[in-house]
Chain A
Amino acid sequence: MTTSPKPLLGRPTVVRLLAPLCVGLFLLTAWQLGCRLTHVPVYLVPAPSDIAKTLVAEAPALFRSLAMTLEVTLSAFALSIVFGVLFAFLVVQSRALEASLMPFAILLQVTPVVAVAPLIIIWVKNTTWALVLCAAMVAIFPIISNTILGLRSAPLGLRHLFQINRATRWQTLIRLRIPAALPYFFGGLRISSGLALIGAVVAEFVAGTGGSSAGLAYQILQAGLQLNVPLMFAALVLIALFGVLLFMLMVALSRLVLGRWHDPEAL
């Protein structure tokens, strides 16, 4: 360890924040200049300034849609966590249970949500619930597989130690299997949060619901029909920003819970 203060650009946090910011700024400038110099029509490729203008002008409608998409995404994410974890705990109880249940979880995973969404939308009357169900179908699998993997990941040595000390099944679960599963579980959360958003957007596309329950996907769909490309980009920007925010939230949460004991580079 050197005692002299590191130069500002040498600090890892500064680099981590500044470097992507610089790249982003550079790309935006190049985009803006490119549009202005080549005079590409705004209905083909809008410049960042056009998108920003639309974002401000259409803010009320866009943010109402964002709230809708947010509601679907977060509900689906919560549903996936609850049922994914329950399913994982059930499955690790015995190999027989795993053998009989896992194929169906995989079946659910490999069926494209676009293909099942119309069916769910017919069956479930409430549109919001139909969308939540579709998104949850996509988001649940990483939670299931990672939690199972985690619950099984307790090292053999520690399992032996618990056995020698005559730990009950319950003690082994609470004091060994669940803590050992946490890093895997949080890894699953990160993937699942992104998938919940993707699932929500895809389901909205399929459902094509307008009116009061119009999500961001519906805005993109409508804008596309009207060739309002800046509005499409504006909606896209909101979806992407929301996705990044969700991901960062999950990273922060896992840091908070795993804290000092876990090597942050490991998962």
Chain B
Amino acid sequence: MMLSPVKPNAAPDANTVLYANQVEKTYPNGTRALDELRLRVQQGEFISLLGPSGCGKSTLLQMFAGLEEPSAGRLLWWNKSQMPAGETGRRFSMVFQDATLMPWATAEVNVRLPLDLAGRSKAESGPRVALALETVGLAKFRNAYPRELSGGMQMRTAIARALVTEPNLLLMDEPFGALDEFSRNRLDTELRSLWATRDLTVLFVTHSIYEAVFLSSKVVVMAARPGRVIAEVEIDGSGERDDRFRVSPRFVEACKYLSELLAEANAQGEEATAAIGGATR
């Protein structure tokens, strides 16, 4: 297992799905959310953005989803500077921190929403919705309203909604953060096997080291103030992973290594903050 940080300066090539070059984000109040950030996501990778709150990992994800504009720098989607408009092979879906389901609609109608908005007929979308619900194990609950579902089941519904458009890329913003550990581990396992059995690229934001190591083919470690990438760590072992992986020496070693990296970055960050505080005084 390779546990040395990868130097994150690779240029985009034909297999690049997402690329951020020298991306900065400064809010009107002067807060620097991101500083000269560079990130490359290759076709078929499962990349986790791991870091403390305030390191700009969610901001970066929202930029890739077109919900935020960078203050400076360049973003590429499949080597184009325009957001893809849903053409085959270049589709993405986003899963949010909450399930963000419409409370007035059944699970089925919620899952069908992206197809409805794209103007697909009910006849066309019906089988796809059924398939997506089956994939997340909710076929029986298609007529249930969100408030009748548990937190884990609501999140499954959100994942089914993300899958129904048959995306090539999934952007996931701490999707399981609000769930209990049992549900979270189960959904992590299922997500990993979903990724392993499909041609899917995933960019996943989390602040859990264990989740990042379990899920990812590569973990991008970020630090806060300003938000930046401090290391990229490859977690080898392809294909599906199960609970045995969670107790394997490889898993433990990777977790230990990442937590050391994060602790080091945090210490540096505090020093920097202290230095700035001293300079202004």
Contact = CB atoms under 8 A, between A and B. Distances in A.
> Are A and B bound to each other?
yes
A160 B145 CA distance: 21
Interface in A164-219: 164-167, 171, 175-176, 179-180, 182
A166 B116 CA distance: 11
A163 B105 CA distance: 19
B271 to A, nearest CB: 35
Interface size class of A (residues with CB under 8 A): 20 to 34
Given A179-B102, A261-B147, A162 B117 contact: yes
A260 interface: yes
Contacts of A164: 65-67, 93-94
A157 B104 contact: no
Q: Chain B interface mostly helix, strand, loop or mixed?
A: loop
A229 B85 CA distance: 75
A260 B148 contact: yes
A37 to B, nearest CB: 54
A182 to B, nearest CB: 7
Contacts of B66: 163-164
Contact of A161 (B86, B96, B145): B96
Given A166-B86, A175-B116, A261 B105 contact: yes
A167 B67 CA distance: 14
Nearest to B65: A164
Interface in A241-267: 258, 260-263
B100 A161 contact: yes
Contact of B104 (A160, A171, A182): A182
Interface in B67-104: 67, 85-86, 93-94, 96-98, 100, 102-104
B225 to A, nearest CB: 25
A158 interface: yes
B166 to A, nearest CB: 14
A155 B103 CA distance: 11
Contacts, number: 56
A165 B96 CA distance: 14
B118 interface: yes
Contacts of B113: 161, 165, 175
B114 interface: yes
Contacts of B104: 179-180, 182, 258, 261-262
B102 A176 contact: yes
Contact of A165 (B102, B105, B118): B118
B117 A167 contact: yes
A202 to B, nearest CB: 37
A263 B147 contact: yes
A171 B100 CA distance: 17
Contacts of A175: 102, 113, 116-117
B100 A165 contact: no
Contact of B98 (A157, A165, A180, A182): A157
Task: Determine which residue in A155, A157, A167 has the highest number of CB atoms from chain B within 10 A of its CB, and name it.
Answer: A157
B114 A165 contact: yes
A167 B103 CA distance: 19
Nearest to A156: B100
Interface string B33-74: 000000000000000000000000000000001110000000
B96 A157 contact: yes
16 contacts: A157-B100, A158-B100, A158-B102, A160-B65, A160-B100, A164-B66, A164-B94, A165-B113, A165-B114, A165-B117, A166-B85, A167-B117, A171-B117, A176-B102, A180-B104, A182-B104
Given A160-B96, A179-B105, 17 more contacts: A155-B100, A160-B67, A160-B100, A162-B117, A164-B67, A164-B94, A165-B114, A166-B85, A167-B117, A175-B102, A175-B116, A179-B102, A180-B104, A261-B103, A261-B105, A261-B147, A262-B103
Interface of B: 65-67, 85-86, 93-94, 96-98, 100, 102-105, 113-114, 116-118, 145-148
5 tightest CB-CB pairs across the interface, nearest first? A157-B100, A179-B104, A165-B117, A261-B104, A261-B145
